[in-house]
């Protein structure tokens, strides 16, 4: 790490605190990720991305920045990376999945706020996230009350462009607003980079990013197999880390991983037995290294086969499909694609119910865990509708609301065990009848 | 009450549960409101509104309904009552200030949700609020995550029209969206009532409601006097109950009260001594009968002189001022007025900071209590900015986050006592220096 200290210092980071952060994370990675049995060989690359996320990748970004590239830090799937890339800038995901900086955020923010927001803010005010430090611009969005108000505070620390996302993108006025907000972000990027976003460049970026989404969808589709050829933790990890990597490189590495998994499928190999319970997780985003729920469930022998989540299908299940090559066509296609992400911030959000229903069938799901980050009102209340939906379809559901601490791990484990026993009993009854 | 049982039954209310509700409220009203010393005589009318809120007023509304009038139930200041009135309908505020139905709401909704939302929803599913029951249409707005998602559930129980409020009304796209949403609500009202909203009718309604707001502002301005001629509890009560009353009648009753208070001022009379600490409360809305914080503070001898709140200045400090008489002029004036309400749902919401700053001066405020309903993220996070603002202006601030239960009453009392002692000590130092 010694060789990176100067780099971190140049970014204004708090070296001592950052060391403590890295040291707190290392045993955790070993316990949760690398100790898993029967991992695909091609996960090595993604493990190396985790290992290099505060070192080699930051050096890469610093070199790109020195060569004149601008860096845009994002919090959310609604940040239109196609525009960022078309402007010749590099979009990175900001830190927000660790419990480490939460205490510091709570010296400023209310405690009754979601851990993701507190973690992000704590990383910023604690100077422990190199992605925050290296970004020339942060891009926020009005997807929830907590975030939108915290962006006001962040903007006092770093330039933060907030895109307004309508509450309902299906109305003509909602759509018009979104298009206008994309225009304004485009202008902001052009002014930041000095580069004009041409239709040609935007079309190229759309293809580039569609390709990464397609690779991730290919990976996801492989998990439909029984047994799944990859653990939920590993699949989640690929989703979490690839967004900070070079786009082309991560795309091809995801395809390499898929090839290995296809061989496994051909040979009938999986990471669990054929009889492992297959669970879907739906709900709030899981920023790296938030593997808590996956770790508990898979340690109990379940197989997490799909995440209806910002760290899952909501990222890669929709592509940008322009009807033509003009700038208007491309911008309209961006609105179409982004407004099709079924986030609970929308009202109503019926597309998400349909998505959960479809995924449950396609992935041969035995049960669903509705995961809510603590105090995340939109996903929490939408859970009521999901409960009604799944009851109708006779699919077992467990609702879990949790933060980033380890305090409730035992409690969640007990509830999950009971849930899995209940499903097994139900399945046995069905098999015997 | 006996004579109202048939009326309540006809509204589909749960008679037994409703009786329990009324019985739980009565001693509370006596303890908090009627036992206050030196009350203005003209408060009698507003006390009678409270007493008749589930009886005589509901009978009035039922008669109006029988005569063909439609009733629109609202949750929030952003529901444009001018349009409702212009359509010949009657707007009423829905129940949401009592702890009584919270437990029932929690059988459906997450516990980590603001008490106002849980109370409203509990009133609806428990059939204990006659205003919910008598309404032909509910009108919601996208002012916070909790409410907007709960409206989806309410809509399954009662027709609920949700108006989208932009996150930032100061952009041209935000303003355009709001105007369009007003148009849609207008159409909805016309279809509900069968009445066309003409420019003439709308102009009349605007005047009518401006007049009520002016009466409330007159009342508020009288509290600038030292000592204030009316308690905070009584002033809050007038704000809370007049919105469910006939508009003209409540307007003239507020003016009568103001006349009495003006006499008091002329005679140097007040409800407290001249030396009582003068406090502002700013923050989340206080629906009737949520007098908790006022009661604690005034029982300790403080004088609450202004509420920067939806149950205070945010309701009556802005008027609708059309530039002409055309429908376009009137609708534009509605957008202007409603977008000037400085709610924490906006980002940024600098107008609120300015308002707090101005009110603190105009009302000779010694200290500010920032009140947040538990889990109300927008007001809670905005509290950080208020803290910074007031620190600069050397105005003491106490932050209180609370729900509708009485569990934290002792704790709040202790904190308020300490806060008031601190202010007194500071004032004494200032006076001696």
Q: What is the pLDDT of residues B47-81, one digit of tens each?
A: 999 999 999 999 999 999 999 999 999 999 999 99
Q: What is the pLDDT of residues B90-142, one digit of tens each?
A: 999 999 999 999 999 999 999 999 999 999 999 999 999 999 999 999 999 99
**Residue B116 C-alpha, separation from nearest chain A C-alpha, in angstroms:** 14
Interface list for B 91-120 with A (CB within 8 A): 108-110, 112-113
Mean of pLDDT values over B217-241: 98
How many residues are recorded in chain A?
433
Q: Distance between CA atoms of B209 and A53, rounded to whole angstroms?
A: 59
User: Exposed (0-12), middle (13-18) or buried (19+): which is B52, by Cβ within 10 Å?
Assistant: middle
pLDDT of residue B427: 77
Q: Does A145 touch chain B (CB under 8 A)?
A: yes
Cβ contact A110–B173 (<8 Å): no
Q: Distance between CA atoms of A189 and A183, rounded to whole angstroms?
A: 10
pLDDT of residue A426: 85
Cross-chain CB nearest to B384 (options A108, A172, A382): A108
User: For residue A432, what pLDDT band results from cuts at 50, 70 and 90?
Assistant: low
Cβ contact A385–B153 (<8 Å): yes
For testing contact with chain A, the best of B347, B348, B385 (most A CBs within 10 A): B347
Interface list for B 356-385 with A (CB within 8 A): 372, 374-375, 377-378, 380-385
User: For residue B156, what pLDDT band results from cuts at 50, 70 and 90?
Assistant: very high
Q: What is the SS3 assignment for A57?
A: helix
Q: What is the pLDDT of residues B381-395, one digit of tens each?
A: 999 999 999 999 999
Q: What is the pLDDT of residues A71-108, one digit of tens each?
A: 999 999 999 999 999 999 999 999 999 999 999 999 99
**Residue B382 C-alpha, separation from nearest chain A C-alpha, in angstroms:** 7
Cβ contact A381–B146 (<8 Å): yes
Residues of A in contact with B383 (CB under 8 A): 110
Structurally, at CATH architecture level, domain B212-318+343-432 sits in 3-Layer(aba) Sandwich (3.40)
Q: What is the pLDDT of residues B242-300, one digit of tens each?
A: 989 999 999 999 999 999 999 999 999 999 999 999 999 999 999 999 999 999 999 99
pLDDT beyond 60 at B433: no
Cβ contact A384–B345 (<8 Å): no
Cβ contact B344–A149 (<8 Å): yes
**By the 8 A CB rule, do B193 and B205 touch?**
no
**Residue A347 C-alpha, separation from nearest chain B C-alpha, in angstroms:** 7
Residue B221's contacts (CB-CB under 8 Å, 6 or more residues apart) are none
Q: Does A422 touch chain B (CB under 8 A)?
A: no
**Residue B6 C-alpha, separation from nearest chain A C-alpha, in angstroms:** 34
Token pair of B20 as six digits: 């329990």
Mean of pLDDT values over A283-311: 97
Interface list for B 148-207 with A (CB within 8 A): 148-153, 162, 164, 166-168, 171-174, 176-177, 180-181
Q: What is the pLDDT of residues B135-154, one digit of tens each?
A: 999 999 999 999 999 999 99
Residue A153's contacts (CB-CB under 8 Å, 6 or more residues apart) are A108, A109, A121, B381, B384, B385
Token pair of B400 as six digits: 């209180």
DSSP alpha helix (H) spans, B145-231: 145-154, 172-193, 199-222
Cβ contact A149–B381 (<8 Å): yes
Task: Give the nearest chain A residue to B402 (CA atoms).
Answer: A112
pTM (whole model) above 0.90? yes
Task: Give the nearest chain B residue to A377 (CA atoms).
Answer: B146
**Residue B112 C-alpha, separation from nearest chain A C-alpha, in angstroms:** 6
Residue A433 CB neighbours (<10 A): 5
pLDDT of residue A427: 77
Residues of B in contact with A172 (CB under 8 A): 180
Q: What is the SS3 assignment for B374?
A: coil
- ipTM confidence: 0.96
Residues of B in contact with A107 (CB under 8 A): none
The strand order across the sheet containing B367-373 reads B303-308, B278-283, B367-373, B397-402
**Residue B354 C-alpha, separation from nearest chain A C-alpha, in angstroms:** 16
**Residue A36 C-alpha, separation from nearest chain B C-alpha, in angstroms:** 34
Phi, psi angles (nearest 5°) of residue A401? -115, 125
Interface list for B 305-344 with A (CB within 8 A): 344
For testing contact with chain A, the best of B346, B377, B391 (most A CBs within 10 A): B377
Where do the structural domains in chain A lie, given as residue ranges?
A: 2-211
Residues of A in contact with B380 (CB under 8 A): 110, 112-113
pLDDT of residue B432: 63
Cβ contact A372–B110 (<8 Å): yes
Torsion of CA A199, A200, A205, A208, to 10 degrees: 140
Token pair of B53 as six digits: 């809120």
**Residue A35 C-alpha, separation from nearest chain B C-alpha, in angstroms:** 36
**Nearest Cα residue to A223 out of A211, A209, A239, A207:** A239
pLDDT of residue A45: 98
Q: What is the pLDDT of residues A2-32, one digit of tens each?
A: 689 999 999 999 999 999 999 999 888 999 9
**By the 8 A CB rule, do B73 and B138 touch?**
yes
For testing contact with chain A, the best of B160, B177, B403 (most A CBs within 10 A): B177
Residues of B in contact with A145 (CB under 8 A): 144-145, 345, 377-378, 381
Q: Distance between CA atoms of B362 and A398, rounded to whole angstroms?
A: 54
How many residues are recorded in chain B?
433
**Nearest Cα residue to A119 out of A94, A143, A98:** A98
Q: Distance between CA atoms of A1 and A23, rounded to whole angstroms?
A: 11
Task: Give the nearest chain B residue to A114 (CA atoms).
Answer: B377
Q: Which fold has domain A2-211?
A: Rossmann fold (3.40.50)
pLDDT of residue A3: 85
Residue B10 CB neighbours (<10 A): 11
Cross-chain CB nearest to A347 (options B151, B171, B180): B151
Mean of pLDDT values over A329-355: 98
Q: What is the pLDDT of residues A112-170, one digit of tens each?
A: 999 999 999 999 999 999 999 999 999 999 999 999 999 999 999 999 999 999 999 99
Cross-chain CB nearest to A374 (options B112, B164, B374): B112
**Residue A348 C-alpha, separation from nearest chain B C-alpha, in angstroms:** 7
């Amino acid at each position: 790490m010694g060789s990176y200290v100067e780099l971190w210092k140049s970014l204004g980071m708090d070296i001592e605190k950052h060391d403590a952060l890295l040291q707190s994370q290392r045993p955790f990675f070993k316990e949760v990720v690398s100790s898993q049995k029967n991992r695909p060989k091609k996960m090595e690359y993604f493990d190396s991305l985790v290992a290099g996320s505060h070192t080699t990748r930051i050096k890469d970004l610093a070199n790109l920045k020195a060569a004149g590239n601008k860096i845009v830090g994002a919090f959310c799937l609604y940040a239109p990376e196609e525009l960022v890339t078309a402007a010749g800038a590099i979009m990175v995901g900001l830190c927000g999945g660790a419990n480490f900086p939460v205490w510091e955020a709570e010296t400023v923010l209310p405690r009754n706020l979601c851990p993701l927001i507190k973690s992000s803010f704590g990383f910023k005010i604690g100077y422990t996230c190199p992605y925050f430090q290296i970004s020339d611009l942060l891009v926020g969005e009005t997807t929830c009350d907590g975030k939108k108000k915290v962006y006001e505070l962040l903007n006092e620390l770093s330039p933060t462009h907030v895109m307004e996302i309508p509450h309902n993108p299906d109305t003509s006025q909602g759509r018009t607003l979104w298009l206008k907000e994309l225009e304004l972000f485009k202008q902001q990027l052009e002014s930041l980079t000095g580069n004009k976003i041409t239709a040609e460049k935007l079309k190229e970026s759309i293809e580039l990013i569609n390709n990464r989404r397609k690779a991730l969808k290919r990976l996801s589709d492989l998990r439909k197999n029984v047994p799944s050829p990859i653990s939920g933790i590993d699949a989640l990890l690929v989703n979490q880390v690839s967004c900070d990597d070079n786009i082309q490189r991560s795309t091809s590495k995801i395809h390499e991983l898929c090839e290995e998994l296809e061989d496994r499928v051909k040979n009938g190999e999986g990471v669990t037995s054929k009889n492992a319970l297959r669970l879907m997780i739906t709900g709030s985003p899981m920023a790296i290294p938030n593997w808590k729920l996956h770790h508990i469930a898979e340690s109990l022998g379940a197989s997490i086969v799909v995440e209806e989540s910002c760290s899952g299908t909501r990222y890669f299940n929709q592509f940008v499909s322009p009807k033509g090559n003009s700038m208007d066509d491309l911008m309209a296609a961006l609105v179409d694609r982004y407004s099709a992400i079924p986030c609970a911030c929308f009202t109503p959000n019926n597309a998400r119910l349909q998505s959960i229903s479809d995924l449950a069938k396609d992935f041969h799901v035995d049960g669903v865990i509705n995961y809510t980050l603590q105090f995340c009102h939109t996903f929490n209340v939408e859970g009521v509708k999901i409960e009604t939906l799944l009851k109708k379809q006779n699919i077992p559901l467990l609702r879990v609301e949790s933060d980033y601490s380890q305090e409730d791990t035992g409690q969640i484990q007990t509830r999950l065990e009971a849930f899995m026993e209940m499903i097994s009993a139900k399945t046995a009854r069905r098999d015997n009848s």
